[in-house]
């Protein structure tokens, strides 16, 4: 059975579909596309939109890399695979909006296959999506999680709850003792079902991303904002940078596997601020983000 081709075809189609929808939402702004090759094997196709009317930066990356030895980040949870030949492919995207009332969003779906001589290949899927608002709207977060739940429901009643909890735990900045945002879904090492069922689940996650995110964008992108909101957005983006550079397994895998640095770090926002020991004033919309939204809970 060929595992690689059907997954690769789906991922390339998904990249096309999402980049077309995001460009359309931004009044037809176009993505810049780069195709790149990895010296050790494989390559990818990166698409980045910058300085749009709606999105300050949107990056949507497809990669398919392979080699003779899995990087350490890929075997941390599965040490028995150390030294295996591998193939890894996925679509990863991060959307940084211009308007502070529109949340940043991230999605990633991926497929790994490891092989040892004279043994059948070992494969697994991973991915998910999560939302990082700067100013919270409960109806937006509920919609996001309702869509995430709908993506999971055909695969079991407990799937959403398990992967929602995993997302809350994964996208957590331990050194800040706070979540990155309001969560969503996260799963990894998925091979408990047969291949077709696991692949179908990965596709369901990918297929539900636009219906989870675009309605929020449409509702909030024209809200008026000023310097205060913009300043807070840039400050909160600092948390995004901290997570991606300190904890994110995808970033670590890309760097350890010799991937293209520009494509790996396209998840970082174009502008960001840090300030020493800043705290929001009580009773402000900025404080409400911490008090209401940066506390994992059941949204649906």
Whether 277 contacts 214, CB under 8 Å: no
Report yes or no on whether pTM surpasses 0.85. yes
Q: Is 32 annotated as a binding residue?
A: no
Q: Which of 64, 106, 143, 208 is catalytic?
A: 106
Confidence of residue 209 (pLDDT cuts 50, 70, 90): very high
Q: Is 64 annotated as a binding residue?
A: no
Share of the chain above pLDDT 70, in %: 97
Residues 6+ apart with CB under 8 A from 132: 103, 104, 105, 106, 180, 181, 182, 236, 240
For residue 245, CA distances in Å to 127, 191, 217, 238, 268 come to: 18, 28, 26, 11, 9
Q: Could you give the domains of the chain?
A: 3-293 (3.40.1500.10)
Average pLDDT, the chain: 93
Residues 143-193: tens digit of each pLDDT: 999 999 999 999 999 999 999 999 999 999 999 999 999 999 999 999 999
Q: How many CB atoms lie within 10 A of CB 82?
A: 14
**Is 74 a residue whose pLDDT tops 70?**
no
Confidence of residue 14 (pLDDT cuts 50, 70, 90): very high
Residues 238-296: tens digit of each pLDDT: 999 999 999 988 888 778 877 788 888 888 999 999 999 999 999 999 999 999 999 98
Q: Is 145 annotated as a binding residue?
A: yes
Phi, psi of 111 (to 5 degrees): -135, 135
Residue-by-residue DSSP string for 16-39:
HHHHHHHHHHTTT---EEEEEE-T
Q: Is 260 annotated as a binding residue?
A: yes
203 sits in which H/E element: helix 195-220
Model pLDDT, residue 174: 96
Q: Is 136 annotated as a binding residue?
A: no
Q: Is 108 annotated as a binding residue?
A: yes
Is 106 assigned a catalytic role? yes
For residue 273, CA distances in Å to 5, 93, 234, 276 come to: 42, 22, 5, 10
Cα dihedral angle (222, 226, 232, 236), rounded to 10 degrees? 30
Model pLDDT, residue 238: 96
Q: Is 109 annotated as a binding residue?
A: yes
Q: Using CA atoms, how far apart are residues 105 and 58, in angstroms rounded to an integer?
A: 10
């Amino acid at each position: 059975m060929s595992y690689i081709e059907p997954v690769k075809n789906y991922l390339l189609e998904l990249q096309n579909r999402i980049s077309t929808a995001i460009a359309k939402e931004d009044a037809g702004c176009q993505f810049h596309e780069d195709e790149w090759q990895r010296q050790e094997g494989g390559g990818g196709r990166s698409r980045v939109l910058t300085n749009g009317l709606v999105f300050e930066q949107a990056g949507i990356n497809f990669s398919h890399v392979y080699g003779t030895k899995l990087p350490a980040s890929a075997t941390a949870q599965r040490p028995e695979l150390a030294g295996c030949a591998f193939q890894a492919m996925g679509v990863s995207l991060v959307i940084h909006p211009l308007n502070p009332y529109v949340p940043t969003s991230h999605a990633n779906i991926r497929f790994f296959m490891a092989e040892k001589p004279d043994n059948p290949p070992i494969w697994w899927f991973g991915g998910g999506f999560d939302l990082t608002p700067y100013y919270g709207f409960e109806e937006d977060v509920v919609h996001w999680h309702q869509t995430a739940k709908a993506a999971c429901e055909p695969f079991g009643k407990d799937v959403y709850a398990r992967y929602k909890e995993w997302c809350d735990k994964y996208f957590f900045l331990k050194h800040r003792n706070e979540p990155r945002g309001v969560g969503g879904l996260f799963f990894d090492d998925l091979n408990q079902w047969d291949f077709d069922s696991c692949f179908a689940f990965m596709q369901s996650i990918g297929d539900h991303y636009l219906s989870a995110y675009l309605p929020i964008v449409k509702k909030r992108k024209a809200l008026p904002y000023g310097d205060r909101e913009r300043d807070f957005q840039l400050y909160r983006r600092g948390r995004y940078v901290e997570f991606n550079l300190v904890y994110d397994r995808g970033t670590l895998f890309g760097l350890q596997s010799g991937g293209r640095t520009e494509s790996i770090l396209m998840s970082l926002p174009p502008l960001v601020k840090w300030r020493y020991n800043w705290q929001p004033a009580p009773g402000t919309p900025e404080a409400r983000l911490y008090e209401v939204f940066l506390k994992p809970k059941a949204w649906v």
